[in-house]
Amino acid sequence: MASDPLLNEISFGIAEGGRVQDVKEMAKAAGQSFPGFTPPGGETQEQVKERVKEFMEKMLQQIGNEHWHLQGEDKASSSDPPESSPVEGNPDDGVRGVPVHALVVSHGAYMCVAVRYFVEELHCSLPQGSDKAHMFSLSPNTGLCRFILTLRKEDDRFKLSGMCCLFIHRGDHVKQ
């Protein structure tokens, strides 16, 4: 297990520690939308996206360096999206046959920025029928997202060659 400050929640500046509703009201008063609003002194979406990029690069290199030799040759798992995005399911949904797993734990607003980056810039494929408004919303408390990443090796570096979202913001593990 490792801890990485690149996964820390967004800094909300003067709104730090307050309620989400208060930040939404600040955004409305400023004539901006939430969750894209940056409270005074807070971290911008672009700053968070740079942390996401840095973490992804670090993680890809670590996983590649630790596990690539086990593959024996350039192998990749499928990056095709599933037919539908399960609202509920089993812990191993979509990961059977995936040779390496990494659990990454972060926060809702951070994940909102990360998912947007995955979809818009890394061209992450989505399950059929996915609702982008839901995809780009704040992840609920303990919400689960699952992605399959495919790597390729170029010289001495590992590069992302494909990304697939299996499900997003799933909450069936929390009992009401």
Six-digit token string for 113:
């920025």
What size, in residues, is the chain?
A: 176
Alpha-carbon dihedral 25, 27, 28, 34, rounded to 10 degrees: -100
Rounded to whole angstroms, the Cα distance separating 127 from 21 reads: 30
pLDDT tens, N- to C-terminus, the chain (176 residues): 788 999 999 999 999 999 989 999 999 999 998 888 999 999 999 999 999 999 999 999 999 998 887 664 444 444 444 445 454 556 566 666 777 878 888 888 899 999 999 999 999 998 888 888 888 888 778 888 889 999 999 999 999 999 999 888 887 777 66
Six-digit token string for 28:
């409305």
Phi, psi of 121 (to 5 degrees): -110, -35
Six-digit token string for 143:
């919400």
CA 162 from centroid of its chain's CA atoms? 14
Report pTM.
Answer: 0.82
